[in-house]
Structure 1
Amino acid sequence: MKAFVVEKVADRAFSCAIQEVPVPECDKDEVVIKTTYSSLNYKDALSSVGNPGVTRKFPHITGIDVAGVVHQTTSDAFAVGEKVLVTGYDLGMNTDGGHAEFVKVPASWVALIPDTITDKEIMTFGTAGLTAALSVNELLDNGVKPEDGEVLVTGATGGVGSLAVSILNKIGFTVVAVSGKEEQIDYLKQIGASEVILRDTFNEDAKKPIMAERYAGVVDTVGGDILANALKYIKYDGVATCCGLTASHELNTNVFPFILRGVRLIGIDSVECKLEKKQAAWDKLAGEFKIATLDSITNEIGLEDIKDTYASMLEGKSVGRYVVKI
């Protein structure tokens, strides 16, 4: 079968290319999926250059998302021919991932694809969509409602950010987007942002330890100073979610938003969260959260395009979501 493989060629030196590799076979309680679509994520790009925080086992097939049909299984939970997907867990990290014609995974990682969504659509969502849905669910579950005011989304041109903007707009929220890409303002308004604040302006304006109340909620995808400054603007009893670190893994903040306004900061993990929680999020993405702007944020590529797209991601030039047709 064809697969996109990363190899270690020397200490801290890696190469990647399409290769012919053996089709995997099932062991106990496993599923082999015949891939129809996968996607590209920032974590995949890091894996392609041997980032040790993502992948330590080489040669390695990238792809932390996969959708397709059950080709072979030794598990009673699934039948050959069922439409399924996998995101998170160790897929595409130290377990061979979705950028291959066939993928073998533990049955406990596998979720069913709802009938109301296609393989391509669910991979357009992928890990990014799952993360966005989990973030939005936390706002809703903690009482944030559209009538409470605006919701801020940071890193809004990225995969998670773009989908969060679109989902929030779909369910009735007024969305303010923060981005460092001035040339993408029209794109962000097209997918649902009512206002776009440039990153440097946002950080420059937030000089005080706490700012005037503005946002009922925040979906943060970048961490660092942007998250620290976003917390200062959250209204009383508001909620912020945090799922990324592209700006920084550090958070230099103060306690004022928490002790003066009762603000809650909730971490989002889409990798190891329970399969039942993932399945519920997929069902929402196929229903209430399914957005009309999927095509406008989707770039469809093939295995042969992955290498160049990784380079674009690592340079901070990618926009929206990338799905890989296998």
Structure 2
Amino acid sequence: MAQNDTFNALLLQEGDPRPIAEVSTLNPADLPAGEVLVAVEHSGLNYKDAMILNGLGRLVREYPHVPGIDLAGTVTESSDARYRPGDHVLLTGWHVGERYWGGFAEYARVHGDWLTPMPDTLDARGAMIVGTAGFTAMLAIEALEHGEITPGTGEILVTGASGGVGNLAIALLAALGYRVVAATGRPENARHLEALGARSIVPRGELAERPDRPLLSERWAGVIDSVGGDTLAHALAETQARGVVAACGLAGGAGLTTTVIPFLLRGIRLQGIDSVQYPATDRERVWQRIGDLLPTEVLERCLAKEVGLSQLPQRAEALLAGQIRGRVLVTPTDH
């Protein structure tokens, strides 16, 4: 890419009460340092991206800034011996899109250590329908597996089922043979969730309040929770003995009011899921597994909308309001 070439990016400038987002024209000299230049084919809109676009959580400290915590595309330049022009790669995590410029642009320059080779079962579109949401869901499932929760152990509760993590967790669990119960506050999505593999639907209201006792009737062999707050407390109280609860989100609040009783009397494990700094040495294996489990037709069912850069601020507000089902795919060349 020549130094006088230009490309489009969603650039954030500091503003009050939220950053100012504009599709801007940049050139390679504007990009940060890094060994690999990637032509971005797709990105995805995640909950964290929506927070960044709305200036929540002080996730971005320096402006101007290009957000986008995920990206997938083709290497065009590389000084890293592991990558050559023409290689297909993806990136999630490592605080890209937060501390470092991210994937809401036609080009991104990044460090080679942050990249993962594209699995042979995925392309850039499929990888970004999965994105951080699906990668997190797969890590949560592996937490259940490490706790010896098998398809025969009992039902798995997925909270926040209508969101990106929820959709992909249901699809992955179903592909592995688990019996999935989906909790959602949007009953109009029931058929969609069942098509992804949910065996039954639980209204969000049944789980939304903090339990009035430390232990409730045992219902779940395992839980994948992207909501947090009182929903997580309720799920803990209903998890069966030696069950595993994987906590991977805070859409319903960062607080957690519970007791140690579920851990002491039922031996429940509460496992936090960190997809940002997950070891690079194991990422390729996890991505290959996702691609093996989810064919294209299933991935497309998880897709809510495909948008360009200029539509991202509006979609971010809708995502924070819980109005989007599944994943939003970003195509930076369509703005």
The TM-score with structure 2 as length reference comes to 0.92
Listed as ranges, the matches of 1:41-190 within 5 Å are 41-190=46-195
Cα distance, 1:148–1:130 mapped onto 2, change above 3 Å: same
Q: Give the whole-Å Cα distance in 2 for the aligned partners of 1:255 and 1:291.
A: 43
1:5 to 11, 25, 39: 11
Contact 1:65 1:98 in 2 (8 A): yes
Q: Which residue of 2 aligns with 1:283?
A: 288
Secondary structure, counterpart of 1:237 in structure 2: strand
Q: Which residue of 1 aligns with 2:4?
A: none
Please give the secondary structure, in 2, of the residue aligned with 1:44: helix
Per the alignment, do residues 13 and 148 of structure 1 end up closer, same or farther by CA in structure 2, a change over 3 Å counting?
closer
The 3-state SS of whatever aligns with 2:292 is coil
Q: Contact 1:26/1:72 (CA < 8 Å) preserved in 2?
A: no
Structure 2 match to 1:316: 322
Report runs of 4+ in structure 1 exceeding 3 Å deviation: 24-29, 203-207, 288-292
Match of residue 227 from structure 1: 232
Match in the other structure for 1:295: 300
Q: Which amino acid aligns with 2:323?
A: K
Query: What is the percent sequence identity of the aligned residues?
Result: 36
Cα distance in 1, alignment partners of residues 265 and 294 from structure 2: 33
Please state whether the residue corresponding to 1:146 is helix, strand or coil: coil
Rounded Cα–Cα distance in structure 2 between residues aligned with 1:133 and 1:13: 33
Partner amino acid, structure 1, of 2:245 = A
Q: Could you list the per-position Cα deviations for residues 40-67 of structure 1 after superposition, in whole angstroms to 9, with x for gaps in the alignment?
A: 0111111112235311111111110000
Q: Which runs of 5+ in 1 are unaligned?
A: none
SS in 2 for 1:176: strand
Structure 1: how far apart are the matches of 2:254 and 2:221?
A: 24
CA displacement at 1:14 relative to structure 2: 2.3
C-alpha contact 2:44 2:70 (8 A) present in aligned 1: yes
Instruction: State how far apart, in whole Å, the 1-side matches of 2:31 and 2:210 are.
Output: 56
Partner SS, residue 142 of structure 2 = helix
Map of 1:205-224 to 2, 5 A cutoff?
A: 206-224=211-229
* Alpha-carbon distance in structure 1 between the residues aligned to 2:18 and 2:200: 43
Residue 206 of structure 2 aligns with an amino acid whose one-letter code is T
Indicate if the aligned counterparts of 1:28 and 1:75 stay in contact, CA closer than 8 A.
no
The residue that corresponds to 2:45 in the other structure is 40
Q: CA RMSD in A?
A: 1.8
**Which SS does the other structure have where 1:147 is aligned?**
coil
In 1, the alpha carbon distance for the partners of 2:247 and 2:270 equals 7
* In 2: Cα distance, 1:165 partner to 1:288 partner: 12
CA apart distance, 1:74: 1.1
Counterparts of 2:107 and 2:237, CA distance in 1? 47
Q: What 5-or-longer segments of structure 2 have no aligned partner?
A: 1-6
Q: Which position in structure 2 is the counterpart of 1:268?
A: 273
Residue 25 (structure 1) shift: 8.0
Secondary structure of the residue that 2:50 maps to in structure 1? Answer: helix
The answer to whether the Cα contact below 8 Å between 2:151 and 2:179 also exists between their aligned partners in 1 is yes
Q: Within 5 Å, which residues of 2 pair with 1:17-32?
A: 17-24=22-29, 30-32=35-37
Q: What is the CA distance between 1:80 and its match in structure 2?
A: 1.1
Deviates more, 1:285-294 or 1:92-101: 285-294
- For residues 52 and 31 of structure 2, the distance between their equivalents in structure 1, rounded to whole angstroms, comes to 25
**Contact 1:24 1:102 (C-alpha < 8 Å) held by counterparts:** no
Question: Cα deviations across residues 26-45 of structure 1 (Å, max 9, x unaligned)?
Answer: 88761110111111011111
The worse-fitting range, judged by mean Cα deviation, of 203-212 and 131-140 is 203-212
The Cα offsets for residues 165-222 of structure 1, whole Å up to 9 and x where unpaired, read as: 1110111011011112222222222211111111112245943321121211000111
| Compared CA separation, residues 155 and 235, structure 1 to 2 (3 A) | same
Give the equivalent residue in structure 1 for 2:3: none
Pick from 305, 325, 331 the counterpart of residue 325 of structure 1. Answer: 331
1:41–1:128 contact (8 Å) kept in structure 2 = yes
